Structures are given as C-alpha cells and as structure tokens.
Amino acid sequence: MMDTIFGKIARGEIPADIVYEDEDVVAFRDLHPQAPIHILVIPRKPIRTLNDLEAADAELVGRLFLAARKVAEREGIAAAGYRTVINCNAAAGQTVFHLHLHLLGGRPLRWPPG
Ligand code: 5GP
C-alpha cells in the first residue's frame, strides 16, 4: 500500500506526541484535536481501512482497543467516559489511509455526532 504520514510516525521518521507504544501499536495526540483529549491509536502494520482487515488481524484489533483503554486510564478519562471512532473511507471522513482509532474525551460528547 501507499505510505502515509501515520506510517512515518509509526517508524519514527517524523515527530509526533506519542503517549503509548508497544510492539504492535502506537498512540499519539491528534494534530487538530476535536476534544481536550484526542489521541490516535494505530497499528504499526499499514492497513488502509477497516474494509481491509483480515481474519488474521483479529488479535491486532484487540490490541488496538486494549491500548485505547490503557491510554484512557492514563489520561484520566476512563471513569468519566470517552468515545472511540474509526472512520472508514471518504463518506465517513477518513483522510489518512492507515487504519486508526480516534480516542476522544475530556468534555461531554454529543450523540449522535454530525
Ligand atoms: P481521519 O479523518 O482520517 O479519521 O483522521 C485523521 C486524523 O489525523 C485527523 O483528526 C487529523 O487531525 C490527524 N492528522 C493528520 N495529519 C496528522 C499529523 O501529521 N500528525 C498528527 N498527530 N495528526 C494528524
């Protein structure tokens, strides 16, 4: 697949405010936060979209969510509540084609979103 800015962040080639990383997952603050806490959790593996997930990625997806949970706890928003969002393709607003989970919190979040 085409390289993306998130691939470069995952490989440490461009800077980001990284809040968590392990062998499979990297989490960093969004450049244009939509909430007081807005963190992107990505797999190091470059998967374009949710549509491109394969059965073999099942454990990796679990790791993404476990990382999100850990970051939410560290950021102090676990008890109050937070939202996780994965945008898939253009109609959902996906702009970076490297799978990523948005972790949003730190203020009351409206539902449904726009
Ligand atoms: P999407 O719209 O694809 O679901 O979300 C992409 C997100 O990546 C947006 O919220 C945008 O602000 C964020 N973003 C885009 N480029 C960069 C970057 O270079 N660094 C960081 N930290 N976030 C970025």
> Using one digit for the tens of pLDDT, what is the confidence trace for 52-98?
999 999 999 999 999 999 999 999 999 999 999 999 999 999 999 99
Ligand 1 centre from 27 Cα, in Å?
12
Give the atom of ligand 1 at the shortest distance from the alpha carbon of 17: 22
The alpha carbons of the chain give a radius of gyration, in whole angstroms, of 14
What Å distances lie between residue 112 and 24, 35, 61, 83, 109, CA to CA? 31, 16, 24, 12, 9
Which CATH superfamily, name and number, covers 5-96? Answer: HIT-like (3.30.428.10)
Q: Where are the domains of the chain?
A: 5-96
Token pair 């990796």 is found at: 60
Name which residue sits closest to atom 8 of ligand 1, judged by CA: 30
**What pLDDT shows up at residue 2?**
76
Angstrom distance (rounded) from CA 107 to CA 36:
7
Residue-wise pLDDT tens digits, 13-41: 999 999 999 999 999 999 999 999 999 99
Q: Indicate whether this model's pTM tops 0.95.
A: yes
**What pLDDT shows up at residue 88?**
98
Angstrom distance (rounded) from CA 97 to CA 90:
10
